[in-house]
Amino acid sequence: MWEDGSFVKMFRGSASYIANHRGTLVVYHIPGELLAWEGFPGLMDDIALTWLLGMKIVLVAGCRHQIDIRLEDEEDGEHRLGGKVMMSSIRVTDEETLRVVKEEAGFVRFEIERRLAKSLRLHGGLVKGSESLIGNVVSGNFYSAQPFVVLDGIDYCWTGFPRKVEIERIRQVHETNDIVLLTSLGVSPSGEIFNVNSEFLAATVAGSLSASKIIYFNVHGTIHPKGFALVDLDENSPHQEMLRAPGSMETLIKVGYSMVALEKGVKRAHILAPENGALVQELYTRDGCGTLISRDIYEGIRRADVNDVSGIYDLIDPLVRAGTLVERPKSQLEKEALSYYVYTRDGLVVATGQLKRFEGGFAEIGCLVVSKDYRRGGRGDAMLGYLERLALQCGAKKVFVLSTQTMEWFVERGFKEVPVER
């Protein structure tokens, strides 16, 4: 097993992520549908693993799925507003619906607590006879709620939204190495109970705690597997049918709540399909497997500085050794660093290019290199296009490249091969 060294390579590649995530706070939103999923125990194992690796965890459990089933089963055929979802996934909660919410929220809470407690014991385990590494799942009144009241002429009854998150109480739980579990039932200062939208609750809690990440699990998957951006589709798009797929509206709603979390100060939001091992892959590998929404630049092009010299050198060195590129020692790269541009992915330089400007309206694009691990993602074209636009913005009339082995690639992208004398 692992004779090819893939495990060692994978583990080494994960080391920086393990270190970076240790001590950070993450909020997981668990939709009620996942409780019936055959992979749910594995998901709890993965969440417990992130706890073992040092992450502080808050779980927010939804129960919309269970409530919908109960209301359908108990529906007597008469029309009633209670229980209906009126807008933006917000449910009108009448007295009868609130009774159902209480019962199902309790069921979901204890199912998650039961399964996660088992996973924590398996991962934390007894170490040399000590139980200090076994975490607990702690539920309680960690936030207060207030009524949604009347909106657009609709009385939402016992539907509410978060009023205040008990930040210090949650931090005290984390200091004892335990996990916080919240449900969609919030209590007001006057003692009233309200049904709170769990996705919005997760975003609010994450923002209040200045969480590093919020992770939504999408029952029907993530963004379209071919990478089409749903927000960019117009009504005439050939991929418009994706918007009618079962998971599309769910995804768009969770993208919206992810944006709410980011606006409240959360650094990154992830939307994951509940697949075996998806959480571990998303958190502890560079490429992940879900949809990432970030406040900072996770992947993009920027101007290089002296701190990028080592990354640029490591990227071009194999091509220098192969004779494809002219040798550029680190001392030269340091002097010319500001003429280089880098395409980074989570801090790693995966592509680079140099733009030199000359008198007479000329500009040269050189040292265009893409890491062999990232050559299928169009990053070379992105870097070339970026440098071309930058040259034009700087007033260049003509852009040229000097190459003996890769000229065909540039010709395919609109360059014309001419003698050096010209």
Judge contact between 352 and 340, C-beta under 8 A.
yes
Q: Identity (one letter) of the amino acid at 248? A: S
Range 242-266 average pLDDT: 78
Residue 279 has pLDDT above 60, yes or no: yes
What pLDDT band is residue 241 in, cutting at 50, 70 and 90?
A: very low
Compute the Cα dihedral for 290, 293, 296, 301 and give only its sign: positive
Sequence-ordered list of residues with C-beta below 8 angstroms from that of 201, at least 6 positions apart, any chain: 60, 143, 162, 182, 184, 186
Task: Return contacts of 129-138, CB within 8 angstroms, 24+ apart.
Answer: 133/52, 133/177, 135/51, 135/177, 135/178, 135/179, 136/176, 136/178, 136/179, 137/59, 137/112, 137/113, 137/178, 137/179, 137/181, 138/173, 138/178, 138/179, 138/180, 138/181
How many Cα atoms sit within 13 Å of 326 on the Cβ side?
A: 7
Q: Hey, which residues does 363 pair with through a beta bridge?
A: 357, 399
Lowest mean pLDDT segment, chosen from 64-68, 125-129, 193-197: 125-129
What pLDDT band is residue 6 in, cutting at 50, 70 and 90?
A: confident
Judge contact between 58 and 25, C-beta under 8 A.
yes
What pLDDT band is residue 128 in, cutting at 50, 70 and 90?
A: very low
Lowest mean pLDDT segment, chosen from 84-88, 114-118, 165-169, 294-298: 84-88
Give the Cα separation of 216 and 276 in Å (integer): 15
Range 274-288 average pLDDT: 88
Residue 63 has pLDDT above 70, yes or no: yes
Lowest mean pLDDT segment, chosen from 95-109, 201-215, 247-261, 335-349: 247-261
Nearest-CA neighbor of 396 among 339, 336, 355, 368? 355
Residue 43 has pLDDT above 50, yes or no: yes
Task: Return contacts of 197-200, CB within 8 angstroms, 24+ apart.
Answer: 197/89, 197/90, 197/91, 197/161, 198/29, 198/31, 198/60, 198/61, 198/62, 198/63, 198/64, 199/29, 199/62, 199/89, 199/253, 199/254, 199/257, 200/161, 200/162, 200/257, 200/260
What pLDDT band is residue 222 in, cutting at 50, 70 and 90?
A: low
Q: Looking at residue 225, what is its pLDDT?
A: 44
What pLDDT band is residue 298 in, cutting at 50, 70 and 90?
A: confident
Q: Looking at residue 308, what is its pLDDT?
A: 95
CATH 3.40.630.30 fits 300-411, yes or no: yes
Instruction: Give, rounded to a whole angstrom, the gap between the first and last alpha carbons of the chain.
Output: 59
Backbone angles phi, psi at 403, to 5 degrees: -155, 145
Give the Cα separation of 159 and 148 in Å (integer): 6
pLDDT digits (tens, 9 = 90+) for 69-125: 988 877 653 334 455 554 455 788 889 899 999 999 999 999 999 999 999 888 765
Which listed CATH number (3.40.47.10, 3.40.1160.10, 3.40.1180.10, 3.30.565.10) goes with 6-296?
3.40.1160.10
Judge contact between 272 and 289, C-beta under 8 A.
yes
Nearest-CA neighbor of 260 among 215, 298, 216, 204? 204
State the DSSP H helix or E strand holding residue 292, giving kind and residue range, or none if neither. Answer: strand 291-294
Residue 363 has pLDDT above 80, yes or no: yes
Range 292-305 average pLDDT: 84
Percentage of the residues of the chain whose pLDDT score is greater than 90? 55
Lowest mean pLDDT segment, chosen from 174-178, 271-275, 277-281: 271-275
CB atoms within 10 A of CB 231: 8
Range 284-293 average pLDDT: 86
Q: Identity (one letter) of the amino acid at 355? A: L
Q: Looking at residue 131, what is its pLDDT?
A: 52
Residue 392 has pLDDT above 90, yes or no: no
Q: Looking at residue 239, what is its pLDDT?
A: 41
Give the Cα separation of 196 and 208 in Å (integer): 16
Question: What radius of gyration do the chain's Cα atoms show?
Answer: 27
Give the Cα separation of 383 and 376 in Å (integer): 13
For 98-117, b/e burial (b = at least 16 CB within 10 A) is: bebbeebbebbbebbbebbb
For residue 145, give the DSSP letter: E
Residue 236 in 3-state DSSP? coil
Token pair belonging to 251: 């995804």
Token pair belonging to 346: 């989570």
pLDDT digits (tens, 9 = 90+) for 393-419: 888 999 999 887 888 889 888 888 887
State the DSSP H helix or E strand holding residue 303, giving kind and residue range, or none if neither. Answer: strand 299-303
Q: Between residues 4 and 173, which one has the greater pLDDT?
A: 173
What pLDDT band is residue 347 in, cutting at 50, 70 and 90?
A: confident
Nearest-CA neighbor of 355 among 340, 369, 343, 368? 340
- Kindly list the domain boundaries of the chain, sorted by start residue: 6-296, 300-411
Chain mean pLDDT for the chain: 85
What pLDDT band is residue 54 in, cutting at 50, 70 and 90?
A: very high
Give, in order, the Cα–Cα distances in Å from 284 to each of 3, 20, 29, 111. 22, 10, 19, 27
Q: Between residues 158 and 223, which one has the greater pLDDT?
A: 158
Residue 155 has pLDDT above 60, yes or no: yes
